[in-house]
Amino acid sequence: MPKKIFFLMMSTILCSAGFEALAEGPVLSLTGDSVITKSQEAQSEPLQKQETAKAQAEDKGIFSFLNFWQGKDKPKLEIDADAQETLLQKYTRLAQNGDLNAQMSLGYMYLYGDSENNIKQDYKEAFKYYEMAANQGDNVAINNLGSLYYSGIGVEQNILKATQLFAKAADLGNTEAMVNLAFIDISSTGQSYKPQEAVDLFKKASKLNNPTAHFMLGYAYYKGFMVEKNKIEAFNLIKKAANSGYDEAQYVLANMYLNGDGTPQNYGTGVKELNRAVKQGHLPSMMLLANILAVGKKYPKNIFQAYVLFNVASVKGNEEAAKKRDVLETGLKIEELLQAQAQAAQFVPQQSPMTQYINQTFGENIKQYIDRELNKKEK
């Protein structure tokens, strides 16, 4: 079992084996501009805007201090202009009197620190106020308190206590708590490894529109893990996760479009999904899209853009990308080469809030838990 709720697992980087990938339709650049001809550019659709995850009214992140990543603002309390107390003094007074909003706000402020209000980071104080809020039966606060116990933040680490709190929050309808329990079940070993329970929790959370659960359940259907293989159901669920902005879901969805898995084959839409993930700096998507551009079988060649993508991927430490970049270099004029290098140097990944949240909380390759078990069975 992982020692921290962040998990921060070593990700298995998925790279394309060569230049064999095929596709067709308008290829988009890192910036979303067409890189084929002007006539094709005029006909191609603009890059789809990445959708951020929809905020849920009472259901927030595994850490309360990550709850506000979903576009919500930290709870605010109005301060009377004539009041003879600071913001911290007023929050503290209200929290002591049972104000849930003040308790959650103070927990957040102490956990991160709030220089604007001269509040220094203090994990023990953060734990104290989250515990106050949890004692009022709030499902978000209970889930948050479980996260602190799991990570040993402000309190001695206690996995059993954390699991009990997650279960309590899940029973109260908190989908993030359901997902937390599912990852504990699926990432554990020995008797604590409970894959069927994990999938059942993903099902429950997915029905309540949790994006992480959409992806994990969709991937389970795609692979036939603890459920009967169903690529149509997999496609629908993974598409929901992709539309929430999750880069790994966009990559898997792109492959489903390119290969016609669970949906009619559609190279153009597949490439658009790759571009959405590439904008976020997703390495496997860069490699696949670069290979597609370099082949030019069912897709017009674009050595320039393929070079840019391989160059960016090489900076991420991919040795295969560096070799392919060097091969493509011979096919570019000196002016094109300099321009391509400049474009690669200017690339800055723009991860969506959903991608950041999932990567920080559960790791950069969450489908590894399913792949790992299936690989064991194949051996």
Q: What is the pLDDT of residues 237-266, one digit of tens each?
A: 999 999 999 999 999 999 999 999 999 999
Say whether both 232 and 366 belong to one domain: yes
Residues 40-81 have pLDDT tens digits of 333 333 323 223 322 332 333 444 334 433 334 455 555 555
In-domain check, residue 300: yes
Residues 129-162 have pLDDT tens digits of 999 999 999 999 999 999 999 999 999 999 999 9
Say whether both 228 and 356 belong to one domain: yes
Say whether both 76 and 31 belong to one domain: no
Say whether both 54 and 71 belong to one domain: no
pLDDT > 60? residue 302: yes
pLDDT at residue 76, as a whole number: 57
* Residue 310 burial (CB count, 10 A): 28
Say whether both 268 and 284 belong to one domain: yes
pLDDT at residue 255, as a whole number: 97
pLDDT at residue 157, as a whole number: 92
In-domain check, residue 341: yes
Say whether both 252 and 359 belong to one domain: yes
Long-range pairs, 196-205, Cβ under 8 A, ≥24: 196/226, 198/226, 199/225, 199/226, 199/227, 201/170, 202/178, 204/175, 204/178, 205/175, 205/176, 205/178, 205/179
pLDDT at residue 79, as a whole number: 57
Structural domain including 285 reads 1-58+210-374
pLDDT at residue 24, as a whole number: 32
Say whether both 38 and 103 belong to one domain: no
Residue 126 sits in a domain whose CATH number is: 1.25.40.10
Say whether both 122 and 96 belong to one domain: yes
Q: How many domains does the chain have?
A: 2
Say whether both 220 and 324 belong to one domain: yes
In-domain check, residue 187: no
pLDDT at residue 60, as a whole number: 39
